[in-house]
Amino acid sequence: MAAINAVKIFSGSASNYLAKEIAKYYGKDLGAATTLRFSDGEMSPSFDESVRGCDVFIIQSTFPSADNLMELLLMIDAARRASAHYVTAVIPYFGYSRQDRKDRPRVGIGAKLIANLLTAAGADRLMTIDLHAGQIQGFMDFPVDHLEGTAIFIPYLKSLELENLTFASPDVGGVVRTRNMAKFFNANMVICDKHRKRANEIASMQLIGDVEGANVVLVDDLIDTGGTMCKAAQLIMDKGAKSVRAIVTHPVLSGKAYENISNSVLTELVVTDTIPLKEECAKIKVLTVSELFAKAIGRIRDHESISSLFIKY
């Protein structure tokens, strides 16, 4: 029989590698769960141990395919139907977050739809890191713990001891994130202003600010094809920078991303393990978010503030 309000951590198929590390840092084994798959691809997740009266944390990033999202929803539903006391969806990478508004006629708002699905499945809480747009928190009708990748990236950047440090935003949308990093290091900031013809295709880009002789760090929440990041890095080097590297929380890395990064002027691309890499790349360094999530789970369990997990700017 499970202890009342005991914490149990489970994982979907896509994030098992990360969930094991989170559970290890938390100090307990990952809960036993099984996902059966029918011959047509339909899945049926189940818990192999009691969750009655427990605070259940289900870890699953929702990157493609959509099966990852569906598995998470079914696991939340299964936990609710098994009389779990409290169900937290831990979604390190929140898929569809780029669809946070109507930016053209007759389109859906994917992030809001995912929020509705999480509510319908029975989630009581969401824990995630570096949403593409902060306002997505307002789509949820339950508490959201929105962690920040800066807690992981800042110690790493400190260890590099770079001189004449300058931070760059690869687009106007990332200015706030980049400004916070620049403020912490008391460094300068520049902006790459881009214009797109369509998704994943850049028409033009201009640099606002001076990078002459600087070690530049590009800051973003996710990298997809790498087109924007690599073009921004080249523009920065062309303007006289000493070096340019990028820190990005979510390595979506689709299409020719690995080729683009390998052939770019980037010294390195520093990412986290919210999404597993599809292949090795000498220029990509991975930092783990496992300890950060484990600490957040512990604070939620103890009804403590998680503000100590955030960098103070």
Domain-embedded: residue 61: yes
Residue 190's pLDDT band, with cuts at 50, 70 and 90, is very high
Q: Which of 264, 266, 259 is nearest to 285 (CA)?
A: 266
Average pLDDT of the chain to the nearest whole number: 94
Report the pLDDT value the prediction gives residue 198, as an integer from 0 to 100. 62
φ, ψ of residue 289 to 5 degrees: the values are: -100, 5
- Determine the Cα–Cα distance for residues 101 and 107; give it in Å rounded to an integer: 9
**Position 301 in a domain:** yes
Residues 295 and 284 in one domain: no
Concerning whether 194 is annotated as a catalytic residue, the answer is yes
244 and 296 part of one domain: no
- Do residues 67 and 172 both lie within one domain? no
Does residue 141 lie in a domain region?
A: yes
**What mean pLDDT do residues 8-24 have?**
98
Given 8, 194, 231, 295, the catalytic residue = 194
Q: What is the CATH number of the domain that holds 110?
A: 3.40.50.2020
Residue 53 has phi, psi (to 5 degrees) of 75, 5
User: Does residue 12 sit in the same domain as residue 136?
Assistant: yes
78-135, pLDDT tens digit by residue?
Answer: 999 999 999 999 999 999 999 999 989 999 999 999 999 999 999 999 999 999 999 9
Number of domains in the chain: 2
Element (H, E) at 19: helix 16-26
Residues 65 and 109 in one domain: yes
The reported pLDDT for the residue numbered 67 is 97
Residue 1 lies in a domain: no
Both 124 and 163 in one domain: the answer is no
pLDDT-derived band at 312 (thresholds 50, 70, 90) equals confident
67 φ/ψ angles, rounded to the nearest 5 degrees: -60, -35
* Confidence (pLDDT) at 172: 84
Residues 154 and 268 grouped into a single domain: yes
Q: Are residues 76 and 188 in the same domain?
A: no
Instruction: Examine the pLDDT at 56 and tell me if it is beyond 70.
Output: yes
Q: Are residues 173 and 187 in the same domain?
A: yes
Q: Which domain holds residue 216?
A: 150-288
